[in-house]
Amino acid sequence: MPLLEILTYPDPFLKQTVKAVTTIDDKIQKIIEDMADTMYDAPGVGLAAIQAGINKRIIVFDPEADPEKRGFQVFINPEIVESRGEMVSEKEGCLSVPDFRANVKRSAFVRAEGLDRHGNPLKIETDGLLSVILQHEIDHLNGILFIDRISALKRQLYKKKRKKALKNA
């Protein structure tokens, strides 16, 4: 399975609202497998197709840290339909935002609805880490990075740091 190339900030592709999946065919299954391989290789706990330059509302995720127990989940066209409470997601990071972590204010509980990889309705109600992962990945589908949810000052500092790193690369 080929690994996909992960786009990084400030790639403008990451800033768009991506399109819904209308047909779940073999091509979509292949994208899902490649996304999962890419996520585990990175390694990360979630990946949105847009991060690999694919304009489709697909996310894969796996909060399991133990490689023996891992198994990824797929969410197609996911939407957050209910969110409650507040929590601080500590040192959140993103494969598209290299060398940076920050605390992010998130909802404590979310209910998300969409489709599984076979096109069946999928509903997930969750809190804790999985809730944060879903909020983070669904943000990606709407062109939002976690650095859009931190203070302007912290965001500016990261932008400067990133610019410098890219210049010296």
Chain contacts with Ni ion (rule: CB under 5 A): 94
Instruction: Give the active site residue among 68, 79, 86, 137.
Output: 137
The neighbouring-strand residues paired with 114 are 122
User: Which pairs with CB-CB distance under 8 Å and at least 24 residues apart come from 39-44?
Assistant: 39/72, 40/70, 40/72, 41/3, 42/6, 42/95, 44/95
Please confirm, yes or no, whether 68 is among the known catalytic residues. no
Would you say 51 or 77 has its CB closer to Ni ion?
51
Please, what is the minimum distance in Å from the beta carbon of residue 84 to Ni ion? 23
Give me the sign of the Cα torsion angle 62, 93, 17, 131: positive
Residue of minimal CB distance from Ni ion? 94
Query: Parallel, antiparallel, or unpaired: how do β-strands 87-94 and 121-127 relate?
Result: unpaired
Nearer to Ni ion, 24 or 62 (CB): 62
CB of residue 96 to Ni ion, shortest distance in Å: 5
Q: Residue 44 Cβ, how far from Ni ion at the closest point, in Å?
A: 8
Contact criterion met (CB below 8 Å) for 58 and 28? yes
Is the Cβ of residue 119 or residue 128 nearer to Ni ion in the bound state?
A: 128
Looking at the annotation, which residues are catalytic? 137
